[in-house]
Amino acid sequence: MYVVRRVGVFLVSLLTASILVFVVMSILPGDPARVILGTQATPEAVESLREELGLNRSLPTQYLDWLSHAVRGDLGESVFTGQAIGPQVANRLKITAPLALMALTFTVLLSFPLGVFAAARHRQAGDNIVSVISQLGLAIPAFWAGLMLVTLFAVRLRWFPAGGFPGWGDSFFGSLKALLLPALSLAIVQSAIITRYVRSAVLETLREDYIRTARSKGLTRSQALWRHGLRNAAIPVLTILGLQFAALLSGTVVIESVFVLPGLGRMLLDGITRRDLPLVQGGAFVIVAFILLINLIVDLTYRLLDPRVGAR
């Protein structure tokens, strides 16, 4: 029942998101037809193009039309290049999705050990050092971290490429290498946030009665932490991780710009400069859908960790 309800919520959210994207793009001023034809075009030409694009129909009709195509994976055509948007988005996702997941992996690998370490050394030097590092990490914009990493590793040390993407087909390891610095820039900031959450979740858990029970059974502090504390602490951290994914994904838009990666973010920015509304609409919708999907997965995983979920 929980799973059914949660998937239902996901589908409704997806629909709401698509309406939101559509409404923002349609209601706000700016006529795509005029954008395509430029300011010199005659009113008649604009009107006929509006007709051709279906822009003179009512908004609900336009939306339903867009939706009925979207569910079949057809996101329309770019008004600039005339190419189908669906395959373009799929292509771009091949860079953005691995980048986001790689950043997420780095984040988890960095923040979990640091957070647990800080909690275990609560109020000792180790805790304070971690807290200073995470304070600094929190204050840095991800793209600036990217710029600095490029300066250091690409320009000075020449270990990594400063930007660009060879393509998975041409060079798998080259592609992986091209994503490493961007993913790291994103992970630096995200880990700072998650470390703080891990630390406080573990500390909170260590104050629970059942930890004291565990110790009254003869478990040492660290045994109580590993056997009873971590799984309980993971529950709130997982929620935050899911929510932070939205921030991480929007971070890719900026990072792709720093490292000149032809991902979804670049596509959106190019779409804006060319006033290519269908392209921006399609791209934005796919990003939001991705975020909602990750949150669905998080909620379902949550249930595996916490037997109380769905029982009440």
Partner 1 sequence: MSITVPDQTDQPGRSRQWRRANFVAGLSILSVVVATAILSFFWTPFDPTRVDSSKPLLSMGQQGHLLGTDQFGRDLLSQIMVGSQTALFVGILAVSIAIVIGIPIGGFAAAHRGLVEDVVMRISDVIYAFPPVLLAILLVAAVSPGTGSAMIAIGIAYIPIVARVTRGASLSIFERDFVAAARSYGRGQTFIFFRHVLPNILSVLIVQMTVLFSLAILAEAALSFLGIGTQPPTPSWGRSLRDAQTFVQLTPRLAIWPGLAIALTVLGFNLLGDGVRDALDPKLEVDRL
Partner 2 sequence: MSAELLRVDDLNVRVGSTPLVQGVSFTLGRGERLGIIGESGSGKTLTALSIMGLLPDNLDASGSIQFDGTELLGLSEDDLCEVRGNAISMIFQEPMTALNPVMRIGKQIAEPLKLHQGLSSREAADTAVRLLDSVGIDRPESRVRSFAHELSGGQRQRAMIAMALACGPDLVIADEPTTALDVTVQAKVLGVLKEQVVANDAALILITHDLPVVSAITERVLVLRGGTVVEQGPTDVVFGRPADDYTTQLVDAVPPMSTTANVALKPAPEPVVGTPLVSVRDVHKHYRLRRARLREPAMVVKALDGVSLDIYPGETFGVVGESGSGKSTLARIMVGLNRPTSGSVVVDGIDVSAGSDLRPLRDVAQMVFQDPMGSLDPRMRIGDIIAEPLRSLGTAGDHSQRVRTLLDAVSMPANIADRYPHEFSGGQRQRIAIARALAPNPTLLIADEPVSALDMSVQTVTLDLLKQLKEQFELTMVFISHDLSVVHEICERVIVMERGAIVERGDVGQVFGRPSTTYTESLINSIPRLDGGFLNA
- List contacts with partner 1 (CB under 8 A): 9, 12-13, 16-17, 20-21, 24-25, 28-30, 122-123, 128, 135-136, 138-144, 147-148, 150-151, 155, 162, 206-209, 211-212, 215, 221, 224-225, 243, 246-247, 249-251, 253-254, 257-258, 268-269, 271-272, 275, 277, 280, 284, 287-288, 291-292, 295
Distance CA(169)–CA(172), nearest Å, equals 6
Distance CA(285)–CA(267), nearest Å, equals 13
Contact positions with partner 2 (CB under 8 A) in 218-257: 218-221, 227-228, 231-232, 235
Of these partners, partner 2, partner 1, none, which one is at the site of residue 133 (CB under 5 to 8 Å by kind)? none
Q: At its nearest, how many Å lie between partner 2 and the CB of residue 208?
A: 7
Q: Which two tokens stand for residue 12?
A: 């409704």
Say if residues 265 and 254 touch (Cβ distance below 8 Å): yes
Say what the alpha-carbon torsion angle 136, 138, 139, 140 is, to the nearest 10 degrees. 90
Contact flags string 177-216 toward partner 2, x per CB under 8 A: -------------------------------xxx-xxxxx
The residues, any chain, with a CB within 8 Å of residue 232's CB and separated by 6 or more, are 205, 208
Of these partners, partner 2, partner 1, none, which one is at the site of residue 37 (CB under 5 to 8 Å by kind)? none
Say whether 77 sits in a helix, a strand or coil: strand
Of these partners, partner 2, partner 1, none, which one is at the site of residue 260 (CB under 5 to 8 Å by kind)? none
Q: At its nearest, how many Å lie between partner 2 and the CB of residue 228?
A: 5
The residues, any chain, with a CB within 8 Å of residue 201's CB and separated by 6 or more, are 115, 233, 234, 235, 236, 237
Q: At its nearest, how many Å lie between partner 1 and the CB of residue 311?
A: 20
